[in-house]
A and B are shown apart, each in its own frame.
Chain A
């Protein structure tokens, strides 16, 4: 978590994004305790107030829960985890497609390219 943030985007959003990914990838498992605000602040070298805000946002989205006096935990609610998983996927695809469209690729070309890449990539990895 020491890699840097983009200075021109809100840090609390970048940090939320990062934590969401860790949860979706399974790096943080359902029921896992998140590091304390201070620990996260130190390890990612950002203001504790910013981390506080990130945790608040994540809590509002339901992906984490704060338990009084114990800390913040990744939710064990399957529905929420699935919906976040779906949401991140949609976001990534949307970005990708946007970039491809901007460069002038057609949907057919993109689909074909993806298919070839995924099939070929699976064999080479």
Chain B
């Protein structure tokens, strides 16, 4: 479904990604792990078409990715900047107008599930609640690809837990591909089908998590420490 062919991304002074070949199939929840600056966000943005590869190509269903792939991809940035003058409800309503695939009933369901007040202005939301809002906006779209850049980062354990449960409840694992990057391996360990490790801009390994457990009796954390040591 998603394919990286020999992709590199260079900036003026550094190479964010080097010669990456990667294939991601639909119907999977895939974790993207690596240290800060390893290239996780770069990978996400390349799939969202928000940056362009310096070399190689990124394709979705055989089609070259551009910014307007947004019609098939729901992207959750690591930043949580929304339009501060909108309330939670207005933000949801605005998203619903911009994406034809946005399911408003689902958004309402997730909002209630996440226990987020609809009438609070975005600028008055706590960090945890902004994290919840991002999840609502991202998961309410009925698109083939969901990209979530650090959905758990900087949130307290209760919020992280509700987000993970939200993922299990609201992602359509038969139709949707979820790629999420995270530092919080423990939280997502049980929900990942596959895991991809990147290090210094290079793809180190790409594994099926259950096979990893079956073949090597290793959890993701043990596997990671064997890679990063």
B193 partner, pick from A5, A38, A41, A47, beta carbons under 8 A: A47
Query: Is the pair B173, A48 in contact by a Cβ cutoff of 8 Å?
Result: yes
**B148-169 contacts to A (CB < 8 Å):** 164-165, 168-169
Query: Is the pair B220, A47 in contact by a Cβ cutoff of 8 Å?
Result: no
Instruction: Kindly provide the distance from the CB of B142 to the nearest chain A CB, expressed in whole angstroms.
Output: 16
Q: Which of B59-67, B121-129, B211-219 contacts A (4 or more CB under 8 A)?
A: B211-219
Query: Is the pair B191, A42 in contact by a Cβ cutoff of 8 Å?
Result: no
Q: Does A89 contact B (CB under 8 A)?
A: no
Query: Is the pair A45, B168 in contact by a Cβ cutoff of 8 Å?
Result: yes
Chain A 36-64 against B: per-residue CB contact (8 Å), 1 yes, 0 no?
00100110011111100100000000000
Instruction: Kindly provide the distance from the CB of A121 to the nearest chain B CB, expressed in whole angstroms.
Output: 34
Query: Is the pair A45, B217 in contact by a Cβ cutoff of 8 Å?
Result: no
Query: Is the pair B213, A46 in contact by a Cβ cutoff of 8 Å?
Result: no
Distance A50 CA – B190 CA, assembled complex (angstroms)? 9
Residues of B within 8 A of A49 (CB): 27-29, 173, 193
Q: Does B88 contact A (CB under 8 A)?
A: no
- Total contacting residues, chain B, CB less than 8 A: 23
Q: Which residue of B lies closest to A5 (CB)?
A: B190
Distance A56 CA – B219 CA, assembled complex (angstroms)? 23
Residues of A within 8 A of B168 (CB): 38, 41-42, 45-48
Number of A-B contacts (CB under 8 A): 57
Q: Does A8 contact B (CB under 8 A)?
A: yes
A-to-B contact residues, CB < 8 Å:
4-13, 38, 41-42, 45-50, 53
Distance A6 CA – B221 CA, assembled complex (angstroms)? 12
Instruction: Kindly provide the distance from the CB of B80 to the nearest chain A CB, expressed in whole angstroms.
Output: 25
Q: Which residue of A lies closest to B190 (CB)?
A: A46
Instruction: Kindly provide the distance from the CB of B188 to the nearest chain A CB, expressed in whole angstroms.
Output: 10
Indicate whether A8 sits within 8 Å of B210 (C-beta atoms), given known contacts A42-B168, A46-B190, A49-B173: no
Instruction: Kindly provide the distance from the CB of A20 to the nearest chain B CB, expressed in whole angstroms.
Output: 18
Distance A67 CA – B79 CA, assembled complex (angstroms)? 46
Query: Is the pair A11, B193 in contact by a Cβ cutoff of 8 Å?
Result: no
B220 partner, pick from A5, A7, A10, beta carbons under 8 A: A7
Query: Is the pair B210, A10 in contact by a Cβ cutoff of 8 Å?
Result: yes
Query: Is the pair B219, A47 in contact by a Cβ cutoff of 8 Å?
Result: no
Distance A46 CA – B218 CA, assembled complex (angstroms)? 17
Instruction: Kindly provide the distance from the CB of A102 to the nearest chain B CB, expressed in whole angstroms.
Output: 18
Q: Does B189 contact A (CB under 8 A)?
A: yes
Q: Does B192 contact A (CB under 8 A)?
A: yes
Indicate whether A11 sits within 8 Å of B221 (C-beta atoms), given known contacts A42-B165, A42-B168, A45-B191: no
Residues of A within 8 A of B165 (CB): 42, 45
Q: Does B222 contact A (CB under 8 A)?
A: yes
Query: Is the pair A7, B192 in contact by a Cβ cutoff of 8 Å?
Result: no
Q: Which residue of B lies closest to A44 (CB)?
A: B190
Query: Is the pair B210, A11 in contact by a Cβ cutoff of 8 Å?
Result: yes
Instruction: Kindly provide the distance from the CB of B27 to the nearest chain A CB, expressed in whole angstroms.
Output: 7
Indicate whether A11 sits within 8 Å of B169 (C-beta atoms), given known contacts A45-B164, A49-B27, A50-B210: no
Chain B 180-196 against A: per-residue CB contact (8 Å), 1 yes, 0 no?
00000000011111000
Distance A53 CA – B217 CA, assembled complex (angstroms)? 19
Residues of A within 8 A of B192 (CB): 47
Distance A48 CA – B170 CA, assembled complex (angstroms)? 11
Instruction: Kindly provide the distance from the CB of A57 to the nearest chain B CB, expressed in whole angstroms.
Output: 12
Distance A13 CA – B210 CA, assembled complex (angstroms)? 10
